[in-house]
Amino acid sequence: MEYFLLFISAIFINNIVLVQYLGACPFMGTSKSTDVALGMGGAVIFVTLMATAITWPLHQYVLIPYGIEYLQTIAFILVIASLVQFVEMFLKKAVPPLYKSLGLFLPLITTNCAVMGVAIMVQRNGYSFFKSMMYGLASGIGFLIALVIISAIRERLDISPVPRVFKGVPIALIMAGIMSLTFFAFQGMAA
């Protein structure tokens, strides 16, 4: 039950974009079409999982023993960036089809603040390794859902009569605000 609640809460109640406001840049930048949004969402889930898997042991077994937790941010950036680079190379060699579909987005989210945010948050909340992975996966799914929803809305907006001054990003921001309000309705449903 606890894991289920954690999962649901990370997706909806504490949605990483719409409630915690992390990763707002790709949320605006890559939400023009649903195809791109799906690719981006997939890449974020993938990288978040990888990042959590490597930063959790780093924090627990390197930073804490040496008492240098204050270096968390810089160490995480370094590790995650190298990791993404490595993964990109690995995919290109080993799984070309996956590289083709994610390839464009991987460098984009090297240290996306949503990825970074998840890595730091699991440490703050003191989750176990398994719980952290769970949280990372759920956050990624939450990101994907938010991104796909707004991209679908923006596709509809493209062919709707929008006042000229609101065309493009302005109306997308307004939509993001309304979506955020909607997601706040989940607040208080679970811990």
Cβ closest to other proteins, residue 20 vs residue 34: 34
Cβ closest to other proteins, residue 64 vs residue 190: 64
CA distances from residue 144 to 22, 23, 133, 168 in whole angstroms, order as listed: 13, 11, 17, 21
Closest CA to 123 of 141, 89, 131: 131
Pick from 78, 95, 185, 189 the residue near other proteins by CB under 8 A: 78
Closest CA to 156 of 64, 57, 31, 38: 31
Examine residue 32 and tell whether it contacts other proteins (CB under 8 A): no
User: What is the rounded radius of gyration, in angstroms, for the C-alpha atoms of the chain?
Assistant: 17
Residue pair 118/136 in contact by the 8 Å Cβ criterion: yes
Tokens 């930073």, residue? 63
Pick from 67, 97, 126, 188 the residue near other proteins by CB under 8 A: 67
CA atoms within 13 A on the CB side of 124: 8
For residues 44-63, which are near other proteins according to CB under 8 A? 58, 62-63
| Rounded Cα distance, 14 and 185, in Å | 11
For residues 151-180, which are near other proteins according to CB under 8 A? 158-161
Pick from 64, 68, 173, 181 the residue near other proteins by CB under 8 A: 68
CA distances from residue 27 to 61, 107, 113 in whole angstroms, order as listed: 34, 16, 11
Cβ closest to other proteins, residue 68 vs residue 181: 68
For residues 84-123, which are near other proteins according to CB under 8 A? 85-86, 89-90, 92-94
Candidate segments 42-50, 74-82, 145-153, 168-176, binder of other proteins by CB under 8 A: 74-82
Min dist CB 26 to other proteins, Å, is: 19
Count of chain residues binding other proteins (CB under 8 A): 23
Binding site for other proteins (CB under 8 A): 58, 62-63, 66-68, 71, 74-75, 78-79, 82, 85-86, 89-90, 92-94, 158-161
